[in-house]
Amino acid sequence: MALLEFTESGIYCPIADIYIDPWRPVERALITHGHSDHARPGHQHYACHHDSVNILRFRLGQEISVTGYGYGETFLHRGVRFSFHPAGHIIGSAQIRVEYQGEVWVASGDYKLEDDGLAPAYEPVKCHAFITECTFGLPVYKWPDPATVHQEINQWWENNRKAGKVSILSGYSLGKAQRLLHHLDASIGPVFTHGAIENMNEVLRESGVVLPDTRRVTADINKKEYKGGLVLAPPSAIGSAWQKKFQPFSEGIASGWMALRGARRRRSVDRGFILSDHVDWPGVNTAIRETGAQKIITTHGYTSIFTKWLLEQGYQASAESTQFEGELNEMSEADNSEKAA
């Protein structure tokens, strides 16, 4: 019996009878992070990192039964040892380490290797089997230095301010929005937030996360006050009637998909900034190497291509289909995570 298997309900540990990020309601669910394709409603007991507890309660209901753990803290269930380790994806995100009789598996959820200054940085975890996303598992995805991207964003904002325009910057409301906020140069102007993002900001501030000052966009704000400011909005708000009050404005999207010209043109915003909370091609290859694992299971993303590549590199690799979406929702008109929020 494998330590972790893929069932119709999700990633399953049969010895402990525990699921990781299951998509169908189960009794016991370990959750890697708070995005809606990983943290789904309907489970009887949730366990996640401390910083994800309030996020889960906010998104899934205050009444859920949830236990928080610190990074590296271990707990035993039916002889299987579980622990959470930093994944660097968003605040509260964790890889889940599973150990039984000396065999170690890691389900990494979503992750990135760069330290974004807000989520605790990714730490490689030695294991025998590694379950990895490959949302951007193609060699054409290579992230530019995030510091340079943040400079570009601030420069764009500054140019818009000088041109008398409002800057509308889009990123999903849990994770990307706070990461962007953390690196905005507040000396340029005021930062406004869409309600979906501000709700999440409030949840995080209550949990002790320090975020710069923001102001929620409301009907009673005078249009003139937006001038020269920056509005953080979820992807679903781009192109909607909600934007009209900011005219004249310039729109930008921060996403890994912006690395390709086709995706940029399809979104037809003014600027696309390449900034992702997922690993790029060099990153995913490094991560796999550093785990020391021989067995690699690829889940969401370019699974078939990436698996073929890993097989050629000598790994024992296979692809499993899951209901994880990676950054897909960033590109769609109706942002699933926003609906859930």
Which residues form the interface with another protein (CB under 8 A)? 138-140, 142, 259-266, 268, 270-272, 302, 304-305, 308-309, 312, 331-333
Q: How far is the CB of 279 from another protein (least distance, A)?
A: 17
Nearer to another protein, 220 or 312 (CB): 312
Considering beta carbons, is residue 140 or 241 the nearer one to another protein?
140
Cβ at position 262, least distance to another protein in Å: 3
Cβ proximity to another protein, 207 vs 286, nearer residue: 286
Q: How far is the CB of 163 from another protein (least distance, A)?
A: 10
CB nearer to another protein: pick between 100 and 273:
273
In angstroms, give the least distance from the CB of 223 to another protein.
21
Q: Tell me the closest approach of the beta carbon of residue 270 to another protein, in angstroms.
A: 5
Residue closest to 246 by CA, chosen among 157, 167, 153: 167
180 touches 169 (CB < 8 A): yes
Q: 88: which 2 tokens?
A: 């660097």
Tell me whether residue 78 or residue 162 sits nearer to another protein (CB atom).
Answer: 162
**CB burial readout 194-215, b (16+ within 10 A) else e:** bbbbbbbbbbbeebebebeebe
Minimum Å distance from CB 186 to another protein? Answer: 25
What is the spatial distance between Cα 141 and Cα 158, in angstroms, rounded to a whole number? 28
Tokens encoding 243: 């934007």
CA distances from 110 to 78, 138, 198, 265 (A): 27, 16, 23, 26
Torsion sign, CA atoms 259, 265, 267, 272:
positive
For 283, the 3-state DSSP assignment is helix
For residue 14, count other CB atoms closer than 10 A to its CB. 13
Which residues are bridge partners to 273 per DSSP?
254
Indicate the residue among 10 and 272 with the shorter CB distance to another protein.
272
